[in-house]
Amino acid sequence: MEAAKKILTNVKMPFCPGCGHGICVRSTSKALENLGYGPNDVVLVSDIGCSGLVDPLFATHTIHGLHGRAPALGIGVSLGLDNPNKKVVVIQGDGGATIGLQHILEASRRNIDMTLIVINNLLYGMTGGQMSGLSTNEFKAYKHSDDDADPYDVVNLAHQSGAAFSVRVNDISNFTDTLKEAINTPGFSLVELSSLCTSHGMKKVADMKGFIVAEERLVNNRPIGVSKKRTKNSLLSSVKVLEKQFESTIEDSTGIVIAGSAGGGVQSAAKILAQAGILSGLYTTMKGEYPITVGTGFSVAEVILSKKPIHFTGLEKPSAVIAVTEEGWNKVKNRVAHESKVLVDRKICADCSVDVKDFLKVGGKMGAALSAVSYWVKETGVFPVEALFKVVESSKYAVSLQKAIQSAEELREVVYSYIPENKKRTN
């Protein structure tokens, strides 16, 4: 049998004499070698800190990222590789686990297939021995630190969030075996290893007693998190293609502002108008404006209908401003320009000097906007009202939309009736 390739390089450990990080690194490599992993089978993801100085020690693939973010980077690597034969191992310190705690919870929640080793020396080693979110109260008292908030139990947090296996080991003689167990666990495993910072903490392992958290081991039986892959259709194939079939009288371009309230069909009325414009051989644009809370408040839409291609989509001087509710009107009344035709519902201002119609009455709450748009189309004759009917023909809501378009007739003297395409007699 070919001798298994070593996981570690011959590079000298970069840590201070007696630093516990070296034991963690050796135990990790031993665990991987014992399990039969070769260097190219392993991706080591390292964090920032003394515990993040490990890349040159490993002959594996390595990726050295940001402080606290290694588990998040590991999630991407693991999902991106999507290969059960490759092992993603993440190493970070207690400081990294503090600043990036969200990523540990996320890896646990998703049960991402990787092993996170949290090397806990109870402090930020690299920046001079400050306290971390995992520093125990006892240790903080010993270091005369003012911060006496209780530490995170990252092992339990991972467990509560769904990690397949999470464990704290304080006894260095158990490091390798526990790491083997974790690495062999499908899904997310977290191993918190106790480490010694001889420069800013204790000098000997024995002195750590009384300052560290008791060991614990927790298991969840859950399926591994995967990212599903699907073949999907072009986004262009679902766009409705509209061919010219009506004539328009528009010579240049005209812009309409339509205003109402959320749930009143303003956006859909505008879209129907714009699509009917396309059916009439026009270039059109449509944009909507509404509060972030789309279910309440005003709803405003702008439509431009033009004989020539439209570049600028803003509307400086609308040729019509239509409003069917008061909050809509309040939003757009300052848009009225000298040349604007104004059409508002009677409820908004019965005695206004503008054109007042009973859109709400004939179209209902949901149909008033479309009723008003249809009325405008008929009044101006920009294109035949049949173009509007054509647009809604195949809609799920065809019946109620047709009714709303039809309702505009009640506001006019001349009554006409719409005959659907397939019922029309050809002569």
Ligand X SMILES: Cc1ncc(C[n+]2csc(CCOP(=O)(O)OP(=O)(O)O)c2C)c(N)n1
Instruction: List Cα–Cα distances, 76 to 17, 45, 52, 63, 229, in angstroms.
Output: 35, 11, 18, 12, 15
Element (DSSP H or E) covering residue 208: helix 205-208
d(CA 15, CA 17): 6
198 binds, among ligand X, ligand SF4, other proteins, none (CB under 5 to 8 A by kind): ligand SF4
Q: Which positions touch ligand SF4 (CB under 6 A)?
A: 15-16, 19, 21, 50, 121, 125-126, 197-200
Of residues 372-411, which lie at the interface with Mg ion (CB under 5 A)? none
Beta carbons within 8 Å of 424's beta carbon, 6+ residues apart? none
Q: Would you count residue 94 as binding Mg ion (CB under 5 A)?
A: yes
CB of 90 to ligand X, least distance (A): 12
| Selection from 266, 225, 296, 269 nearest residue 392 by Cα | 269
d(CA 311, CA 333): 25
Q: Which positions touch other proteins (CB under 8 A)?
A: 39-41, 43, 53, 55-56, 59-66, 69, 72-81, 83, 86, 102-103, 106, 227-236, 239-242, 271, 274-275, 277-278, 282-290, 292, 310-314, 316
Give the largest CA-CA distance in the chain.
103
- Give the SS3 label for residue 64: strand
Q: Would you count residue 194 as binding Mg ion (CB under 5 A)?
A: no
Binder of Mg ion out of 92, 98, 111, 121 (CB under 5 A): 121
21 or 357: whose CB is closer to ligand X?
A: 21
Stretch that binds ligand X, among 48-56, 218-226, 277-285, 346-354 (CB under 6 A): 48-56
| Selection from 66, 53, 93 nearest residue 201 by Cα | 93
Q: Would you count residue 132 as binding ligand X (CB under 6 A)?
A: yes
User: How many Cβ atoms are within 10 Å of 245's Cβ, its own excluded?
Assistant: 14
CB of 23 to ligand SF4, least distance (A): 11
Q: Would you count residue 285 as binding ligand X (CB under 6 A)?
A: no
Q: What angle do CA 178, 119, 80 make, to 5 degrees?
A: 80
239 binds, among ligand X, ligand SF4, other proteins, none (CB under 5 to 8 A by kind): other proteins
Stretch that binds ligand X, among 91-99, 164-172, 298-306, 378-386 (CB under 6 A): 91-99
96 binds, among ligand X, Mg ion, other proteins, none (CB under 5 to 8 A by kind): ligand X
Which residues on neighbouring strands pair with residue 343, listed in sequence order? 322, 355
Q: Catalog residues that contact ligand X under the rule CB under 6 A.
A: 48-51, 67, 93-96, 121, 123-127, 132
